[in-house]
Amino acid sequence: MSEPAKTSPVITAYKDAPVPTKASLRWRRNIPLQLVKFAEFNGRLAMMVLKGHDDH
Amino acid sequence: MARVVILGAGVAGHTAALHLRRMIGREHTITVVSPNSQWNWIPSNIWVGVGVMSKKDVVFPLAPIYRRKGIDFRQAKAVAVRPEGDETDPTGAVDIVYTDPARKDQQERLRYDYLVNATGPKLRFEATEGLGPHGGNSVSVCTADHAVEASAALRASIERMKRGERQTLIVGTGHGTCTCEGAAFEYTFNVDHELKEAGVRDKAELIYLTNEAQLGDFGVDGMLFSQRGYQQSSRMWTESLFTERGVHSILGAHVHKVDPGVVHYETLDGEMHEQPFDFAMLLPPFGGVDLKAYDRAGNDISETMFNPAGFMKVDADYTPKPYEEWRAEDWPETYEVPGRPNVFAVGIAFAPPHQISRPQKTRNGTMIAPAPPRTGMPSGIMGKTVAMTIRDRINGQPAAVHKASLAKIGAACVASAGTGMREGSAAAMSMFPVVPDYQRYPGSGGRDFKGTRGDIGLFGHWVKYSLHHLFIYKAKALPGWQYIPE
Ligand SMILES: Cc1cc2nc3c(=O)[nH]c(=O)nc-3n(C[C@H](O)[C@H](O)[C@H](O)COP(=O)(O)OP(=O)(O)OC[C@H]3O[C@@H](n4cnc5c(N)ncnc54)[C@H](O)[C@@H]3O)c2cc1C
């Protein structure tokens, strides 16, 4: 192995990344909205299961 | 009467065994060979690894379930496949060595009419010097026991932070060719959550070290989502989460060596680096388990049945070609071994035709190439699909075949980022299909926007938590288990 490089490749933050606002963070814990998302996600899973098998 | 032998009792093998048992008459035998007496819901090892679940929450004994279902269980490991039988009998056979304490190290040759190889991964810690919990300098969450050890190490680190010490924690991939980045990602954010819960987040530098060239790649060449009228990449989405949570990252890394407290790694630009740490959870690369294959005369034919990494070759197109020429159709559909219509390989055990993410080499010739993930949902679907093929063939349709290509199957990856029914969170991703089909879905990252999405929130924790209970219920074959989808 050669000498370790001097510059650190550790990225501490992505400056162009869209960081959520306080309101977005609150919505992520908002029970009624999360219930809707829960239902949506399960719907997508069901779609995948149905499309994934050729038949039964 | 047909004899079906299934090697492995993980997601793929156990699913195949349970479905086949309900699909075919009792005059046919099903034998499951697996070296572990217990079933493990591997995704929840992440929670064991941070101490929010114990080992007993994620494992249960297999023998009582197989006894109840009329499946013959051998606690043993398969060591050789003899698809043409041996000098005394041309019927296919597998050589097994018992790990069952009552018959430890005894050998037996089992004859089969149909064989399913669902032996999963060999955890190749030895590929990186000093990697892993077996005499190495890092911990793992790949098995429930590894996760218990990881949890103890994490707790010790948290205790030191409580005493005012600063700590560096690294979580990620321990080799340039690892897969399962999603598991490392998930563990990272669970650690982040636990550090906050313990009130010591400000004392920790938490670093995600990965072989992915960019965040959000996950070994599947990233994803494109359509959200609020815009196309968003999984890269941007993941970078947002890392920035929000203050988690640092090292990208495109191949770990050469793990010394006590120091990781030595190379990045895509060919530079060598050292990263000191106090706690490191690094996944190993996967290979196929140690299985040999012999012809009737006893000659070693392993090279014809397995790829160099030890995965079993099936109905995929393994012709070497440049990344740009790889196609969705290269991926297998039936999981049947060419020329051996009664042998199948499913789950992690089958040889993928190529990576999904672009493989890269550093100027020093080091390969940094995330291997394609074969996650739980597709593994279960493959197991069930092969069970249906075997059912039909046993029932007198020798040409019957059922298909489930990873280029047509979707997958969900729910990466928990903290527990709690009101304060938990998870990054929930779904992709359809797993292997992008750039011809069929041009302009949307090779996938269907309807099935490909990423979202973060409490609902993700609920999904993850319900999957834990549903899959353990299903694996225990409790009433109605067959209606729970793979
Ligand atoms: C930490 C972690 C977290 C994960 N999280 C997720 C997740 O959230 N979602 C998801 O979808 N996937 C997840 N995965 C991936 C998932 O665990 C795998 O996709 C799945 O287990 C693959 O199923 P399998 O049946 O191929 O292998 P396994 O489930 O590993 O089963 C292999 C079986 O073969 C047995 N075996 C081994 N050697 C032999 C032998 N010589 N002879 C006979 N039997 C043998 C083993 O004992 C085991 O029973 C995770 C993986 C890890 C490591």
Which residues of chain A from 12 to 41 reach within 8 Å of chain B, CB to CB? 12-14, 16-20, 27-29, 31, 33-35, 37-38, 41
For the stretch B177-227, pLDDT in tens is 999 999 999 999 999 999 999 999 999 999 999 999 999 999 999 999 988
For the stretch B415-471, pLDDT in tens is 888 788 888 889 999 999 999 999 999 999 999 998 898 999 999 999 999 999 999
- Pair B356, B372: CB distance under 8 Å: yes
- Report the chain B residue with the minimal C-alpha distance to residue A2: B272
Report the C-alpha gap between B329 and B11 in whole angstroms: 25
pTM: 0.95
Which residues of chain B from 185 to 244 reach within 8 Å of chain A, CB to CB? 207, 215, 236, 239-240, 242-244
pLDDT at residue B229 in the model: 85
B221 within some domain: no
Mean pLDDT computed over B346-359: 97
pLDDT tier, A6 (very low <50, low <70, confident <90, very high otherwise): low
For the stretch B240-277, pLDDT in tens is 999 999 999 999 999 999 999 999 999 999 999 999 99
Q: How many angstroms from the chain centroid is the CA of residue B292?
A: 22
pLDDT(A56) > 70:
no
pLDDT(B55) > 80:
yes
Q: Encoding tokens for residue B4?
A: 């079906």
Closest CA to B31 of B5, B7, B65, B66: B5
0.95 surpassed by complex ipTM = no
Closest ligand 1 atom to Cα of B36: 47
Instruction: Name the residue range of residue B92's domain.
Output: 3-123+287-394
B257 Cβ contact partners less than 8 Å away, ≥ 6 residues apart = A1, B128, B129, B130, B263, B264
- Pair B73, B55: CB distance under 8 Å: no
β-bridge pairing B248-250 and B230-233: unpaired
pLDDT(B486) > 90:
no
Q: Which residue type is seen at B451?
A: G
Ligand 1 center to residue B285 CA distance, Å? 13
For the stretch A19-50, pLDDT in tens is 999 999 999 999 999 999 999 999 888 887 77
- Pair B137, B174: CB distance under 8 Å: no
pLDDT(B302) > 60:
yes
**DSSP 3-state assignment of B348?**
helix
Q: Where along chain A do its domains lie?
A: 22-52
Question: Structural domain tally of chain B?
Answer: 1
> What are the start-end ranges of the H helices in B224-354?
234-245, 302-305
Report the C-alpha gap between B131 and B171 in whole angstroms: 13
- What values do phi and psi take at B467, rounded to 5? -65, -40
Report the C-alpha gap between B255 and A54 in whole angstroms: 41
Closest ligand 1 atom to Cα of B96: 42
pLDDT at residue A5 in the model: 66
CATH number at residue B345: 3.50.50.100
Mean pLDDT of the residues in chain B: 96
Q: What percent of chain B has pLDDT over 70?
A: 100
